[in-house]
């Protein structure tokens, strides 16, 4: 069958020419498009493959690049960059949302900008690149777009404290930043405890308790991060 113009446009955006362009067509095919067009192909299996390819490439890179990190820190660093929000941000930079093949209903409900859809599509593209031209090509493509992010995360030492990470994710998703409000204090003067709530778009996403406002804010950010990243999957 003749491939949609989206496929050729995607190659331009990605800076990658496929030998088998049907693999890219599959990577761009959201299930809503398949349902609407009565097709048997979707990008879900390629997304499954691409997730593993991405994880392997990032793991190998950080293993060799940061020999001073122990297993736990390597795992934290990998998790910090291999997540739906960062994937979606990279996908946006590559205009993936513009070339996705999507059903009208999914498109009308904001599917082209949805974090989970963009992240899954980018992983499907990585899977397609791997099948089309092998691990070396996939490695080159992934590191081209992830290397600076990985190095930046590692340079933070703790890979970004919860408040910093939450602010980055909220800014990327909503274009604003979380707000922290001290809602209570208790205990004697020499042993004060503070209760803080964190708000995203005027909705409470987490609360924390600590011996200082800073500690309470960090705890509130941790709770908010769990909810925020869970809802973005």
pLDDT in tens, 8-51: 999 999 999 999 999 999 999 999 999 998 889 999 999 999 99
CATH number of the domain to which 187 belongs: 3.30.160.20
Q: Are residues 121 and 191 in the same domain?
A: no
> What's the CA gap between 57 and 201, in Å, rounded?
36
Asked which of 102, 128, 155 is the last residue of a domain, the reply is 155
Q: Are residues 166 and 142 in the same domain?
A: no
Q: Are residues 128 and 172 in the same domain?
A: no
Q: Are residues 19 and 87 in the same domain?
A: yes
Q: Are residues 36 and 139 in the same domain?
A: yes
Q: Are residues 183 and 150 in the same domain?
A: no
Confidence class of residue 3 from pLDDT cuts 50, 70 and 90? confident
Average pLDDT for 90-115: 90
Asked which of 112, 132, 155 is the last residue of a domain, the reply is 155
Q: Are residues 137 and 200 in the same domain?
A: no
Q: What is the pLDDT of residues 76-89, one digit of tens each?
A: 788 878 877 788 88
Q: Are residues 150 and 166 in the same domain?
A: no
Which long-range contacts link 30-35 to residues 24+ away (Cβ below 8 Å)?
A: 30/100, 30/101, 30/102, 30/103, 30/106, 30/111, 30/117, 30/121, 32/102, 32/103, 32/105, 32/106, 32/107, 32/111, 33/101, 33/102, 33/103, 33/106, 35/103
Q: Are residues 113 and 181 in the same domain?
A: no
How many domains would you assign to the chain?
2
Residue 157: predicted pLDDT: 57
Q: Are residues 124 and 170 in the same domain?
A: no
Percent of the chain with pLDDT over 70: 95
How much is the mean pLDDT over the chain? 89
Asked which of 127, 155, 183 is the last residue of a domain, the reply is 155
Q: Dihedral sign, CA of 3, 5, 10, 11?
A: positive
Q: Are residues 104 and 166 in the same domain?
A: no
CATH number of the domain to which 131 belongs: 1.10.1520.10
Confidence class of residue 158 from pLDDT cuts 50, 70 and 90? very low
Active site residues: 51, 123
Residue 223: predicted pLDDT: 85
Q: What is the dihedral of CA 15, 114, 86, 63, to 10 degrees?
A: -80
Structural domain that includes position 143: 5-155
Confidence class of residue 159 from pLDDT cuts 50, 70 and 90? low
Residue 156: predicted pLDDT: 58
Q: Are residues 179 and 134 in the same domain?
A: no
Whole-prediction pTM? 0.69
């Amino acid at each position: 069958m003749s491939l949609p113009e989206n496929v050729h446009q995607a190659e331009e955006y990605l800076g990658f020419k496929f030998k088998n362009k049907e693999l890219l067509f599959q990577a761009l095919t959201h299930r809503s498009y398949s349902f609407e067009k009565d097709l048997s192909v979707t990008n879900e299996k390629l997304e499954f493959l691409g997730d593993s390819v991405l994880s392997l490439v990032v793991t190998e890179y950080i293993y060799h690049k940061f020999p001073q990190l122990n297993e736990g820190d390597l795992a934290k660093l990998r998790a910090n960059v291999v997540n739906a929000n960062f994937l979606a941000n990279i996908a946006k930079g590559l205009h993936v949302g513009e070339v996705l093949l999507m059903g009208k209903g999914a498109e009308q409900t904001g599917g082209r900008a949805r974090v989970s859809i963009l992240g899954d599509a980018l992983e499907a593209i990585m899977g397609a690149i791997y099948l089309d031209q092998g691990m070396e090509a996939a490695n080159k493509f992934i590191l081209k777009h992830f290397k600076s992010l990985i190095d930046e995360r590692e340079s933070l030492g703790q890979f970004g404290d919860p408040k910093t990470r939450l602010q980055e994710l909220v800014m990327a998703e909503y274009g604003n930043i979380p707000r922290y409000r001290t809602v209570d204090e208790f205990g004697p003067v020499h042993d004060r405890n503070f209760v803080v709530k964190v708000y995203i778009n005027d909705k409470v996403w987490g609360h924390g308790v600590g011996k200082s406002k800073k500690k309470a804010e960090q705890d509130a950010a941790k709770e908010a991060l769990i909810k925020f990243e869970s809802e973005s999957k």
